[in-house]
Structure 1
C-alpha cells in the first residue's frame, strides 16, 4: 500500500526571501543552505513521513523572520532551534511540538468502535489510509474540529473521527494498562447487553481488546473504552497476557489464521476482517499471533531477515513475507506483499484474500506476481525491534 503525503519540509519564499539576500539578524548564509540544513535534520530524525511529523516553515513577515510549523519530535525541534541559532539567525519561534497537550489536555486515547477508519486528511471523503481496532491505544497529536490526528502503536499517523476515540487522562491510561483485558480471537461477533444475548451493545472483530470486569457463566463481562459494558462468549476470546508469540508465532498458526480470511474483499487502507489491503492482511495475521508489524508493504520490506533469492523459491519457509514491486535506480520498491504458505504457494489480498502460486505449471500461477517479485523477509526468528514488536512488549499496552 502506497501513501502520498505532504513534503516533510516547506520553505516559503515570501516578501523577497531569496537565496543570497541578507536577512535581519542573519549572516550571509543563503536560504538554500538553511533549507538544506533543515531538510537534513528532518530526514535524520523523521525517517518516514507516514510515521513521523516534520512540517517546518521559515518565512518573513515584515522585518521579522518566523519559524513555524509542527513536529512530533522533541529532538527535531531542538536540532532546528540549535541549527538556526548557530547560523546567527534571529527569529521568532512559533514551531509547535506535538502532541498539543495544551489544547487536548491529554495525549492518550483508546479506539472505541470495532473498526476505526484512519484518513489522510480530516474529511470523510478523504483517502482511507489505515484502520485501528477497538481497544487499541492511540497517541493524540492534535485536534481539528471533530477529528483527531493520532498515532497508532505501529507508529502510523492519520486522522480519525473524534467520536471513535475514548479520551483518557494519564491516570485512566495507567489503570487501563494494568487492568485485566481480553483479546477477541473470533473472526466477528457481538458484545451483548445482557447474558441472555437479547440486546447488542456493539459489534466486535478479531484483534479487539476489552477490559474484563468478571465472568458470568460462559461469558466474560467486559467494559468498552467509553465505559459501556456487555458480555461476550469466553470461547471467542483469550486473556491478553496469553497473547504470546513464543507460543503462537508458528507457520501452522499463521497459515490457519490467514486461510480463515479467504474471500474477504480487498479494501484500500483496510486492516480488519471488514476488508484488507495487502499489507493490512499480513499485518492482521501476524497481530493475531502477538506481533505488531509496520503498516505498509514498503515499510514492512525494511524489517525481518532477508532470505536467499538465488535458490528461490526453495529457500522460502512458510510464514515468510514475499514482496512485489519494481526496481528504480537499483533500489527495490515494494508495492505489494503476500505470505508464503509452502509448496510454491502464497496467500495475499488481491481483489480478495486468495492463494496463488509461483509455479508456472499450477492453475493458480500468477505471471504478473512472479515477474514483479523483488524479495522476501523472514519474521519468525528475526528478533524483536523496530517494525517487529510483540504486543506484550509494547509500552503502550503495558
Structure 2
C-alpha cells in the first residue's frame, strides 16, 4: 500500500476505531441495512430538518436547481447559510441514514471523515433526493468514471442529443463502457447515461487512482479560480474553504478530513521554510494560537489558493496578506 492510500485508510480508521471503539465489521453490516445514494447533482445537508427559507426551495428539489438557488441569493442571503448548513454530497455518493423526520432524513455522507460520526459527515436532507440504488451499488465493481472537469453533462443518448443532468467535479459513477470519445455510466435511479470522455478520468476502482503530485492538486484547484464561495460547499457550483481543499485532494485519490480544524491534525507537519505546492496552510484566531478557522493550499512563491469567505471567490493570495499572515498557524503535507 503506497503512502497516499495509507493516509486515507489511516484517517478513516482513526475516526472509526480510536474515537469511537467501533468495529469495521459491525459498521459494514449496519450500513447495508441503511445506505442510500444521492440522486441529485448536489445534495445540501442542513443542521436541522425544515430550515429552508423560500429562497432555498430550489436546493431541495429533485432534480435540484442548484444554479437557480445560488444565482437568486445576494450576499446577505448567502451569509445566513453560515451555521445552518453542514456540508454537501455529490450525485451517486453513498450516505448512511441515521434518522427520519417526515420528508427529511438525517444522513452521514460517506468518505467525509469527521469525529462527529464514524460513518461520515452528518446533516439533514430531503428524503426525495435519495435512492436506495441496489442495482446501482452492484455496478461499482465494473470500473469508475471520475469527473475531472469543473462541471460535466450526463446525456440520455450516446449521440449526446438530449441532456439529462449537469454534475460536479469529483462526482464518481460506475463505468459500464468506454468508446472513442464517450463513456457509458450507471446512475443511482435513472439507469444508463452517457458522458464526454474528456470530462472524466477512468479507473478500475478507487484504489487505482494514480498517486498525484502536489502540482497535480494545485492544477485541479486553479480550474476554479473565480468560483464564488459557498458555506458548506463541496462542488464545482461552490466551495467553502475546507470543502475546496478536501475536494481537490479527493478528486486526486486522497481522502482527508472534511473540516479545516481536523485537516490541521493529520498529515505531516511542515515548517514554513520547507513548504511545497499542495501543502495545506492553516489559519487560527488569536494570532495563530487559537482555533483553526481557515485553510488554503500552497502553490509556491509565498502564495496560496483558497476559497476565503462569503464576500469573495476562489482566488490566489500572498500568505502574508493582511488577515492571513498574522493568523498563520502551520502547515500539513498529505503527499510525498
Question: Could you tell me the TM-score, scaled by structure 2's length?
Answer: 0.74
Residue 358 in structure 1 maps to residue 313 in structure 2: no
1:319 matched to 2:286:
no
Q: 1:210: how far off?
A: 1.6
Residue 94 (structure 2) aligned to one of 124, 133, 137: 137
SS at match of 2:246: helix
In the alignment of these two chains, the number of paired residues is 278
User: Is 2:111 aligned against 1:153?
Assistant: yes
Match of 2:168 among 205, 208, 232: 205
CA distance in 2, matches of 1:218, 1:173: 24
Deviation at 1:367, TM superposition (A): 1.7
| Cα pair distance change 1:245/1:305, threshold 3 Å | farther
Deviations 1:193-229 (A, max 9, x none): 1223221211111111222333455221222111332
Matching residue within 273, 298, 307 for 2:270: 307
User: Is 2:136–2:188's contact at 8 Å kept on the other side of the alignment?
Assistant: no
1:60-139 to 2 correspondences below 5 Å: 106-125=33-52, 127-139=84-96
Instruction: Render the CA deviation track for 1:250-278: whole Å, top value 9, x for unaligned.
Output: 02211111111100001111011111110
What are the Cα deviations for residues 327-361 of structure 1, in whole angstroms up to 9, with x where unaligned? 59x964110000001110011001210111135xx
Unaligned ranges ≥5, structure 2: 1-15, 53-80, 113-119
Larger strand proportion of the pair: 1
Q: Which residue of the partner structure matches residue 340 of structure 1? A: 298
Is the 1:98–1:141 contact (alpha carbons within 8 Å) kept by the matching residues of 2? Answer: no
Computing the radius of gyration from Cα coordinates, the structure with the larger value is 1
- After superposition, the Cα gap between the structure-2 partners of 1:368 and 1:173, relative to the gap in structure 1 and judged at 3 Å, is same
3-state DSSP of counterpart to 1:255: helix
The answer as to whether partners of 2:289 and 2:329 remain within 8 angstroms in 1 is no
Does 1:279 find its partner at 2:236?
A: no
Cα distance 1:177–1:199, how it changes in 2: closer, same or farther (>3 A)?
Answer: closer
* Aligned-partner Cα distance in 1 for 2:243–2:145: 22
Residues 29-48 of structure 1 mapped to structure 2, 5 A cutoff: 47=19
SS in 1 for 2:307: strand
1:296 & 1:193 partners in 2: Cα distance? 36
Q: Point out which structure has higher relative CO (alpha carbons under 8 A, 6+ apart).
A: 2
RMSD: 3.0
Cα gap change, 1:215 to 1:121, in 2 (>3 Å): same
**Is the 1:98–1:142 contact (alpha carbons within 8 Å) kept by the matching residues of 2?**
no
Contact 1:106 1:168 in 2 (8 A): no
Q: Which residue of 2 aligns with 1:369?
A: 324
Q: 2:334 aligns with which of 358, 379, 395?
A: 379
**Which of 189, 199, 218 is equivalent to 2:152?**
189
CA deviation map 1:298-337 (0-9, x unaligned): 11111111122xxx3x221111110001259x96411000
Gaps of 5+ in 1: 1-43, 53-72, 76-96, 360-365, 382-398
Distance 1:143 1:237, change over 3 A: same
Partner of 1:12: none
CA distance 1:367–1:105, shift in 2 (3 Å):
closer
Counterpart of 2:129 (choices 164, 171, 189) is 164
